[in-house]
């Protein structure tokens, strides 16, 4: 079953990795631009300047978790961290798909293709009398720092 999932999601997985890497490298560029600015130099000269610059860099990096990776990491280190993060996200998504299918007794999948829709990707197929729909949408919002994929599985 995992091979079919890997084949169907290969294109989407590559896009997610590419977008996440571009996002992280864009954040790194913003931090470097800030460090070259007069604002940064002014803050560093102030008594409490280091806490101001640290908070601003955290905001530029997309939060505390990414701050240590992006603000202080090399390009290769950032790309490795993003790849690890994307792999974990993909593993969670795949586990969610397998779990939903196992609930209804589906243990094997035919080969299927995800079709690009207006808001993500979708695949529908029949297995053992069940109609399985896997829909991956692109999500994000005011409290989410970057675009990410959310997978919805429906088994009828």
For 50-106, how does the pLDDT look when each residue is reduced to its tens digit (9 = 90+)? 888 889 999 999 888 899 999 999 999 999 999 999 999 889 888 888 888 888 887
Strand, helix or coil for residue 75: helix
Confidence of residue 109 (pLDDT cuts 50, 70, 90): confident
What integer is the mean pLDDT of 12-23? 89
Half-sphere exposure of 30 (CA within 13 A, CB side): 16
> With b meaning 16 or more CB within 10 Å and e meaning fewer, what string describes 26-57?
ebbebbeebeeeeebeebeeeeeeeeebeeeb
Task: Kindly tell me if the per-residue pLDDT of 138 is higher than 90.
Answer: no
Under 8 Å between Cβ of 126 and 132 = yes
Q: What is the pLDDT of residue 35?
A: 93
Task: Kindly tell me if the per-residue pLDDT of 118 is higher than 70.
Answer: no
Q: Facing residues of 122 across strands?
A: 115, 135
Residue 8 token pair: 């169907």
Q: Facing residues of 95 across strands?
A: none
Under 8 Å between Cβ of 129 and 106 = no
Q: What is the pLDDT of residue 147?
A: 66
Q: Measured in whole angstroms, how far is the alpha carbon of residue 109 from the centre of its chain? A: 25
Q: What is the pLDDT of residue 141?
A: 63
Confidence of residue 45 (pLDDT cuts 50, 70, 90): confident
What integer is the mean pLDDT of 5-24? 87
Confidence of residue 33 (pLDDT cuts 50, 70, 90): very high
Q: Which residue has the higher pLDDT, 9 or 37?
A: 37
Q: What is the pLDDT of residue 67?
A: 92
Under 8 Å between Cβ of 71 and 57 = yes
Q: What is the pLDDT of residue 75?
A: 96
Q: Facing residues of 148 across strands?
A: 139
Under 8 Å between Cβ of 75 and 29 = no
Mean pLDDT of the chain: 83
Task: Kindly tell me if the per-residue pLDDT of 39 is higher than 80.
Answer: yes
CA angle (38 as vertex; 35, 42 as ends), nearest 5: 95
């Amino acid at each position: 079953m995992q091979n079919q999932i890997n084949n169907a999601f290969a294109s989407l997985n590559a896009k997610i990795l590419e977008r996440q890497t571009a996002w992280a490298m864009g954040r790194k560029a913003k931090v470097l631009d800030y460090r070259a600015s007069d604002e940064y130099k002014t803050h560093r000269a102030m008594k409490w300047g280091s806490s101001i610059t640290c908070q601003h860099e955290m905001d530029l990096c997309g939060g505390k978790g990414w701050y240590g990776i992006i603000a202080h990491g090399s390009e290769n280190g950032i790309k490795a961290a993003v790849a690890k993060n994307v792999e974990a996200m993909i593993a969670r998504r795949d586990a969610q798909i397998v779990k939903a299918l196992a609930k209804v007794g589906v243990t094997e999948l035919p080969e299927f293709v995800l079709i690009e829709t207006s808001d993500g990707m979708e695949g529908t197929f029949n297995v053992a009398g069940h109609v399985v729909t896997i829909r991956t949408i692109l999500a994000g919002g005011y409290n989410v720092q970057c675009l990410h994929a959310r997978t919805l599985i429906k088994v009828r």
